[in-house]
Amino acid sequence: MKPTQILLAAIAASVACALVAAADDVTLPPASTKTGLTYATDIKPIFDANCVKCHSGDRPKARLHMGTLEGILKGTKQGKIVTPGAGANSILVKAVAHQLEDHDGWMPPMPNKAGANTLTPDQIGLVIAWINQGAN
């Protein structure tokens, strides 16, 4: 290999490492300052638009029913996804904010057949605040 090829390969590897590190260093948006959040009024519309198509019915993905508060609080086949009072530490928040190490757990996955969109920072902030307020 020529010295210029070695240099270019080293630069490419360095840039790739920096991109991976930057992706892993993503911070959560701040929790919304809105008070009195409820699943029915504030959170269900977000989940109906982006989650329920895959997480409902007789065979919901990961056995997670997101069309009801009870379903969300029950969690998945692997356990609970919401820790009331601890929004930033809840698996649900990490999944919708794309902060899970396992990218297969990012929700909604992109691309997807359901036409679901990635949640906006404001929507994630509402979910965090709702969980912080007790996930009612």
Contacts of 85 (CB under 8 A, 6+ apart): 131, 132, 134
Q: Is the whole model's pTM more than 0.85, yes or no?
A: no
pLDDT digits (tens, 9 = 90+) for 66-118: 999 999 999 998 999 999 999 999 999 999 999 888 888 889 888 888 888 89
pLDDT digits (tens, 9 = 90+) for 12-35: 444 444 444 444 445 899 999 999
Q: Are 77 and 61 in contact (CB under 8 A)?
A: no
